[in-house]
Chain A
Amino acid sequence: MSDLTKLTLKAAVDGLKAKAFSSEEITRAFVSNIEAANPTLNAYVQVTADKAMAMAKASDARIASGNAGALEGAPLGIKDLFCTEGVQTTAGSHMLRGFVPPYESTVTANLWRDGAVMLGKLNMDEFAMGSSNETSAFGPVVNPWKSKASNADLTPGGSSGGSASAVAADLCLAATASDTGGSIRQPAAFTGTVGIKPTYGRASRFGMVAFASSLDQAGPITKTVEDAALMLRSMCSFDVKDSTSLDVSTPDWTQAAGQSVRGLRIGVPREYVVDGMPAEIQALWDQGVAWLKDAGCEIVDISLPHTKYALPTYYIVAPAEASSNLARYDGMRFGHRAGKATSLTDLYETSRAEGFGAEVKRRLVIGAYVLSAGFYDAYYVRALKVRRRIAEDFDKVWGQVDAILTPSTPSAAFAIGDKQIDPVTMYLNDVFTVTANLAGLPGISVPAGLDSNGLPLGLQVIGKALDEATVFRVGAALEQAAGGVGRADKWW
């Protein structure tokens, strides 16, 4: 058998069921890849090799007895904001160092129910706040891709940078991730992988460390669109433990990936042409339009007039919700507690000052500011009104189109350290992805080409609420037309 770690999730699951190889074999191969690569790429913050081998053995027994689940024996990486029972979960923060959840998140419980194997916990921006994976308390993740122009280490994007880097470097078959403003789709685009954020409410948020509750949604990062469909199906479920969970059934989306897109109406929003957008991004977008036209789609020019307000809206709503969610980290019941304090307030303030990193503190201060007396209406309530305008923009175009095509990011991956100086420049990375979070819509990023330095670029498909099927259909058509962007040359 050739290198098992290069298989797609689908091929691996099929091979395991056909007993072409065992889960113990493929799991061991991944553990060995991780041991070799992780000191350089820093994608995993914790490797659970013993647990993985035990889970693999149990999977092999189930396969032998004919009781294989949908992902039986498949080794996966888990973003470190999914609580995993008995395994440290930190959300990339000093604040949660040593936190061992006594419960399992619903998303990961679903994956284990379907037979998946956990390789370990994946690095991420602290509390999922970041677009470059440089804010993790465990240090930055390195993108396996290198620019032809420079040998500098590149960021894999964020906040699911560990997930994206691990999938791109064959350190797992697929990974869980989460997306609050683009944290699945942006790193997928930067690493030549596929990432989908489903409709808000499809995947349970129970046991996911919360950032901004009305925006956070779990999804997978995978090598192919079909893999994304396969894994997302296992992750999603109706969950009474999450009051925003949607009581809907989860379709088999693998059937949708591969169906003809002939006759679909694809919207191209004119407002997504942003100032200073590189010509390469526009060319990629034009190419995507041409591919879909060739595949029989009707291309429709549409307007989403409030697009330019999406990012500033996000940077009010997300910090406001974060300041509420992260209030629980007070040093009392779990997490970091400062050693010395002169009063109760001092204990809170010192614990939080020591436990949180700079970006998290910046956003918590913004959140407290926009929610404070005198500014609540001017900033927070206004942002919620603009949010409705943004959602209404989408409602108005769904009569004319079945899905929307945009670039995933305004550039290819950038070097570590490049954009850290200016928060606003960093925030602009999510300019194309954040609207889908504000409106709760599904969005996928599919690798679609390379820039002049040989770095991957992605195209994004946004769909109607609960219409992941069309998103997968169009995503698969783009993937097929692009013919793949290749793999990062192994240098690590």
Chain B
Amino acid sequence: MAKKSTMKLWLLWIVASLGAAGAFGYVMFEAGDKTVFMPGPLSNGHHQLADACDSCHTDPLGGGEVLQQACIDCHGEERVKPHDSHPRTKFKDPRNADRLEKINALQCVSCHVEHRPEITRKNGVTQPVDVCYHCHVDVGENRPSHVGMAFDTCANSGCHNFHNNRALYTDFLVKHMDDADLSDKPKVPLREFGSVIDEIMEYPRDHYPVEPLTLADKDAPPEFAADEEIDRDWLETAHAKAGVNCSACHQPRDAQGELTAWVDKPGVEGCNSCHNHEVARFKLGKHGMRLAADLSPMRPDMARLPMNDKAAHAELTCNSCHGGHRFDAAYAAVDACLACHNDEHSVAYEASPHAELWQAEVGGKADAGTGVSCATCHMPRIDFDVNDWMSRKLVDHNQSATLSPNSKMIRPACLHCHGLGFSIDALADQSLIDNNFTGRPSRHVESLDLARADQERYLREKAEAAQ
């Protein structure tokens, strides 16, 4: 009797196990939603992709190499362009094999583990705070100014970043150590897309020659062609003036160059044929990364930052900020942001000195490029290599690129108007960030002082040697 009962229990256990394995197997290989396997919440940088596990886990059975490739696919370019100071190739060199044994710097996950909120710090880093010690223990021998510094202070804002030190390397600090807080002619570069169209190989000039169009040239099918407001917006803005007809956005051409079916409300694909770099950069940032993963557009109610309740369900595509036919860049640069963002920094913008400058510019009382909008800092106009041979000023629609560490914002944004020391101090002052830079920095980062001391020592030694 007892034997029979045991057999039954075994049978039940086997059937239950097989059922559970089958169910999990189905979810892993077939089902769209795989969140049942999620080991913990995602970091702030990736939480928008919580319902798209296969964005990173591209192969259900893949190991570390699959995850590494996923990191590179999205972040690879960001590592290369600013001249990564710790590139992979440095650690591939056999002479650094001993260093790899301590920290496997070839793998992004060595410092950026996902699904571990309990150990995730600012900038998505999860390694110990004194990680620099392993390779730079003797830094004091070459930099007397660094003797006695604790190794958990290296990456403080304004001193060093692991990857991007373009605004923080010693000679740059020396070059800018006497900068005034505010430059004589504070002004950001102007947009230049219209003037470089002739140099853009992929621009569809065969179908849309760069010549002004009139209402008579409009090529929308008759059933979509009778809206005076749309006509006016189109004619008064850059598209009609540059020969961009209705079909350019509403009927993106296929690989053979043939017009596709009319799309009444085109998504980012409508913009992509001319503004491909803007779209690609948009998809790399927090605004567009869901589109890159073939998910529905990002909405404010999915955000972790405070957002306006009224905009909770607004979907983020190009048209969210640029409108359908007026695509007003001035609206997109401030009003569009504030329609959703409701955190302390955003709310404080309108009463800030930056906003005052912006109002003067859009009101025609100051030169173009002298105002400071949200986009001035968060979507700066950068020198972007559109290919191996050409660079142009691009409005960087990856607004996450300079967010963390925030010292990445210094060169593309702050330095157009402010000195380096002022910028470093301002970005290290959380209360100043919160009130949207109304006032002066109350924090001081010593990096410039250390560079000055090193420079003075070098000049003194050089003078002594000359004598």
Partners in one complex: no
